[in-house]
Structure 1
Amino acid sequence: MRLHKLDKVMEEEGLQCSVVLSGATIFYLTGYDYITTDIGNAVALVYCNGIPTLIVPVLEKNRAETKVGDKIEVLSYSYTLAGDKIFKGSLIEAITSRLEPDKKIGVDIVNSSSSFYISFKDKVSSFVDISKKLAVMRAIKEDDELELIKKAGNITTSAMRIGSEKIQNSGITEREVAGLIDMTMRNEGAEDYAFPSIVAFGENSAFPHHVPSDKVIRDNDNAVVDIGARYRNYCFDSTRTFIKGNSDEIKKIYEIVLQAQLEAIDTVREGVKASDVDLTARKVIERAGYGKYFVHSTGHGVGIEVHEYPAISPASNDILKENMVITVEPGIYIKGKFGIRIEDTIIVTKRKPIVLETTYKYM
């Protein structure tokens, strides 16, 4: 458990109580893994005067108690039941039953739903947002976290190799390749995917978040494959662009994106502004005349969530620190023709970064 890290955040902010709402952060602090991207809030960690209470739906009561043992009290809530460690009422009512309203309270506001925020703010006298502090807390990975991310990377590597082989088969569709990739990740030990696998052929590759379809790959088409495994609740993220056949235009754009990525990776080290990494990649693409076709940020942090702190973007004020894990993923997307993206997951060090590659970068 890492509750001592929450103690540090609270000490810095002068807090007596905190409410953590992110499933990923709750897992990070307690080991209880209710991690979901569903809208709304279902779980919370209330931490007052050094005493933690994990609040979960009644259906999660037994599993939560098994996960955290006797080190953390588990309080479940239900709209219909009441009993031993079962609070009859809503999540917000269960939370406020464990708070001291006159104390200074820190709340994970960014990870609250709008309905939660509106209801919660009327039940306490005042609170401060500690979302950024919690995000920074999780960004610097411990050794065991790095090993889990590497394992997720090894699984992703196996899946990427399958993808690179299968796109050479005549008649194969995006959906079929994505299915084989997903099956490989499961077979290799992933409990889930970090995000829905993206496989995009030809003109579909100009859509950065394309959903695999029944489109068949043609000769001289490129294929963008963006995938990542989740292993023991830690994520990986990798993109490769492959080609079936030969196209001078695709190769030309590919080399520009590759150069942008390599130069950006060379800037990654402790103390560097995240925005400078983005700027390095963007300048290469702009000099080549394709600046307007690079439509997203250069990267993001990776960990329990596939997108987390820091942001590798033009507007980012984040500073890279040793043992942060980030992606570098420039791209060029030309609507109606094709898109190219190359992405690696990278460990920040004091000097040369560690690139966790999944397969060769070259077509």
Structure 2
Amino acid sequence: MRLNKLDKIMEEEGIQCSVVLSGAAIFYLTGYDYITTDIGNAVALVYCDRVPTLIVPVLEKNRAEAKVGDKIEVLSYSYSLIGERVFKGGLIDAIVNKINPPKKVGIDMQNSSSSFYLSFKEKVGDYIDISKKLAMMRAIKEEEELELIKKAGNITTSAMRIGSEKIQNMGITEREVAGLIDMTMRNEGAEDYAFPSIVAFGENSAFPHHVPSDKTIRENDNAVVDIGARYRNYCFDSTRTFIKGNSEEVKKIYEIVLQAQLEAIDTIKEGVKASEVDLAARRVIEKAGFGKYFIHSTGHGVGIEVHEFPAVSPTSNDVLKENMVITVEPGIYLKGKFGVRIEDTVIVTKKKAIVLETVYKYL
């Protein structure tokens, strides 16, 4: 367990209790993988005076105990079922019972709903928001985490190869390719997908978050494939744009995006501001005259969540550190025509970034 990292945050903030609501942070600190369940905002880790308590719905009690063993107390709650070690009431009441106010409390409010916030503030009073520090806590990856991300990358590579092969079949649909990609990831050992797979042909590729449809690929369509496996709760993220036919316009845009990505990757090392990585990519695309068609940030952190700290954007104040894992994914999107995006997941080092490529990206 990594509760010593939470101790450090609490010492810095001068707080006696922490309430962790983020599923990713709870998994990171305890090993309980609430992030893969579908029970909503219903779990908390309460850490007071170095005593951890995992609070879960009664339906999750047995699984939570199996995950954390006897190292952490598991308290389940229920409004209707009362039994041994079951708290009568809801999540907030169970949290307040454990905190036993008044105490100085830190909570990751970024992961709370508005109703939770209002009720929590009413019952606990003042608090310190520790959301950003919890996110930063997970940003620098341990060696074991890097290996799990690499394994997720290997699985993603197998799926990307399947995607690149299947789009050569005239008449195949976006939905069919996405299904084959997802099946490959499962067959290769992924327990889930980091996000819903994106497969977009032709004019649909101008939509960065396109949902695969029954559109079939045509002779001169390009195809954007954005996918990522989740392996043992760690994510990967990769995008490739495949070009069919001989469209000089698509090739021109592709070369601009590729150059932008390569220059951004070249800037990555410990101590560099994440905004500088974004600027390096954006500068290339703007110089080519397509700045207004690059409509998103250049990247983001990857780990237990597919989007996490740091932000690789024009306004980011985050500074890269060794063993952070980020994406680099510039793109150009021409509505009604096509879009191009190229993305790699990379590991930050003290010198040159380690690029975890999936399939070949050079024309």
**Structure 2 length normalisation: TM-score?**
0.99
Deviation at 1:38, TM superposition (A): 6.3
- In structure 2, the residue matched to 1:236 is 236
Once structures 1 and 2 are overlaid, which stretch shifts more, 321-330 or 77-86? Answer: 77-86
CA distance in 2, matches of 1:215, 1:114: 40
CA distance in 2, matches of 1:49, 1:81: 30
Matched, 1:10 2:10: yes
- In structure 2, the residue matched to 1:176 is 176
Deviation at 1:84, TM superposition (A): 1.5
Q: How does 1:150-161 map to 2 (within 5 A)?
A: 150-161=150-161
Q: What SS does structure 2 have at the residue aligned with 1:149?
A: helix
CA distance in 1, matches of 2:241, 2:298: 16
Name the amino acid aligned to 1:259.
Answer: Q
Matched, 1:77 2:77: yes
CA distance in 2, matches of 1:205, 1:186: 25
Matched, 1:362 2:359: no
Q: What SS does structure 1 have at the residue aligned with 2:34?
A: coil
CA distance in 1, matches of 2:243, 2:224: 9
Q: What SS does structure 2 have at the residue aligned with 1:340?
A: strand
Deviation at 1:245, TM superposition (A): 1.6
Deviation at 1:220, TM superposition (A): 1.1
Spell out, residue by residue over 1:273-292, the C-alpha distance to the aligned partner (whole angstroms, 9 max, x if none): 00010011000000000000
Deviation at 1:83, TM superposition (A): 2.0
CA distance in 1, matches of 2:260, 2:38: 35
Spell out, residue by residue over 1:120-143, the C-alpha distance to the aligned partner (whole angstroms, 9 max, x if none): 110012110000000000000000
Instruction: Please tell me whether the aligned partners of residues 81 and 87 of structure 1 are also in contact (alpha carbons under 8 angstroms).
Output: no
- In structure 1, the residue matched to 2:278 is 278
Instruction: Please tell me whether the aligned partners of residues 39 and 113 of structure 1 are also in contact (alpha carbons under 8 angstroms).
Output: no
- In structure 2, the residue matched to 1:352 is 352
Q: How does 1:63-212 map to 2 (within 5 A)?
A: 63-212=63-212
Q: What SS does structure 2 have at the residue aligned with 1:122?
A: helix
Q: How does 1:216-295 map to 2 (within 5 A)?
A: 216-295=216-295
Residues 280 and 37 of structure 1, relative CA distance in 2, 3 Å threshold: farther
Spell out, residue by residue over 1:201-220, the C-alpha distance to the aligned partner (whole angstroms, 9 max, x if none): 00000000000000000011
CA distance in 2, matches of 1:161, 1:187: 14
- In structure 1, the residue matched to 2:302 is 302
Spell out, residue by residue over 1:116-174, the C-alpha distance to the aligned partner (whole angstroms, 9 max, x if none): 11111100121100000000000000000000000000000000000000000011000
CA distance in 1, matches of 2:170, 2:102: 68
CA distance in 2, matches of 1:285, 1:126: 47
Q: How does 1:34-73 map to 2 (within 5 A)?
A: 34-35=34-35, 40-73=40-73
Q: 4+ residue stretches of structure 1 with deviation over 6 A?
A: none
Aligned pair count reads 363
Cα RMSD (Å): 1.0
Residues 281 and 302 of structure 1, relative CA distance in 2, 3 Å threshold: same
Q: What SS does structure 1 have at the residue aligned with 2:74?
A: strand
Q: Kindly, what percent of the aligned residue pairs are identical?
A: 84
CA distance in 2, matches of 1:122, 1:356: 47
Instruction: Please tell me whether the aligned partners of residues 53 and 75 of structure 1 are also in contact (alpha carbons under 8 angstroms).
Output: yes
Unpaired runs of 5+ residues, structure 1, are none
CA distance in 2, matches of 1:4, 1:326: 25
Q: What SS does structure 1 have at the residue aligned with 2:56?
A: strand
- In structure 2, the residue matched to 1:330 is 330
**Structure 1 length normalisation: TM-score?**
0.99
CA distance in 1, matches of 2:37, 2:357: 27
Deviation at 1:362, TM superposition (A): 2.0
CA distance in 2, matches of 1:286, 1:36: 40
Residues 59 and 191 of structure 1, relative CA distance in 2, 3 Å threshold: same
Instruction: Please tell me whether the aligned partners of residues 40 and 112 of structure 1 are also in contact (alpha carbons under 8 angstroms).
Output: no
Instruction: Please tell me whether the aligned partners of residues 347 and 353 of structure 1 are also in contact (alpha carbons under 8 angstroms).
Output: yes
CA distance in 1, matches of 2:3, 2:199: 40
Name the amino acid aligned to 2:153.
Answer: G
